[in-house]
Amino acid sequence: MQQNFMGKSGFQWFVGVVEDRQDPQKLGRVRVRCLGYHTEIHEDLKTEDLPWAHPMNPITSATISGIGQTPLGPVEGTWVVGFFQDGADAQTPIVMGTLPGVPSSLPTKDGSKGFQDRLNANYPKYENEPDTNRLAVNNEENPHPTLTLRKADRDLAVGVANTDATTVVDDVVNADDGTFWNEPETTYAAEYPYNHVMETEGGHLREYDDTVGAKRIHERHSSGTGYEIADDGTKITRVKKDNYNIISADNYCHI
């Protein structure tokens, strides 16, 4: 009876860095340089010679025939933890998860050493800063750029029209009743560890903030189009270009 197989002859695990994610089979696989198994000298073991590692998805994702969550996430430079399906042979790795940290240096494009994003030098972007999203950390001295934009990009003194008092002077229609309103400020006041943030590399954002007294939901396209729901239920929607609202049946609106 065969004795040397995964689960019976030992569990070989690893920690490593993703160096390539351009999987030719489009399965979400990544090439990982593993500590203790692979040299950091790129010339001795090039990125293209590293084995492809399969991603392990959660039980809530079927990951079959396009059903469930697309198995994409780690980028070049991501630290991961996993195990080798073939044990000591270490040629069929499986990635179980990612590991955040506080990068002490930034990558060097086409550098001589591995364990970094040497292909693009895109990640990590911030030195001596936690990998946790800035919106989740809420460091006032180092705010997330989208938060700065939201605070600056408010509509102020928006005039109010009163169609019952419309006047026409010299062919100019005047329906302004003299009052105005301001777009509310964002109620962002996140406290770690209560703000659950998801951000894509293209800049799309989603926040589910459970901070007591400042609960929010915020979803934002990289263009700035998005919405935010404040703790009291107030919702602000901003569309940066055209807006189409197509309804195939009735639309009921109660104000």
- Give the pLDDT means over successive 10-residue stretches in the chain (255 positions): 62 96 97 97 97 96 94 96 93 97 95 95 95 96 95 92 68 73 96 98 97 98 98 97 98 95
Q: Does domain 1-130 have CATH number 2.40.50.260?
A: yes
pLDDT at site 10: 78
pLDDT at site 1: 46
Q: Please name the residue that has the structure tokens 């972007």.
A: 125
pLDDT at site 13: 95
Domain boundaries, the chain: 1-130
